[in-house]
Amino acid sequence: MKEDIEQKICSRLNLDWRDSLMENLGMEVLSASEKRVEITMPVDSRTRQAAGILHGGASLALAETVAGVGSLAACQPDERIVGTQVSGNHVVPAPEGESVRAVGTIIHHGKTMHVWNVDIFRADGRLVSTARVVNNVLKKK
């Protein structure tokens, strides 16, 4: 039952991303909950740098998206999320032609702030980048 609900959430997010940065970069939600999120993204002409490897900016966009999806899942109906900080460290390159997989886990779930750790992996399991993302929780106006 829980897996069915999660699958419906993932399908809905992937549909909602039409005509967005996430769609343009080829991101696809694999799993999403308030504690853990997993999203893939291809390393291709949209996300690579001139040297043929994953662009650091694309990595950070992926990390911020992962944390945003998780924080949205953790929100109350009268709340919204705004990203306030993202920082990352790039470890090894991901070559064009592969997909990377980002896994985010929440490390602080406060009333007004969520802090996420997001690790991005190559297909062979090697760590490409690690990022810390901070989201503020605001009341909807």
- Enumerate the active-site residues: 64
Nearest partner of 5 among 25, 40, 26, 32, judged by Cα: 32
CB 37 within 8 A of CB 29: yes
Distances, alpha carbon 92 to alpha carbons 14, 33, 54, 105, 119, in Å: 28, 28, 10, 21, 12
- Alpha-carbon span 54 to 97, nearest angstrom: 10
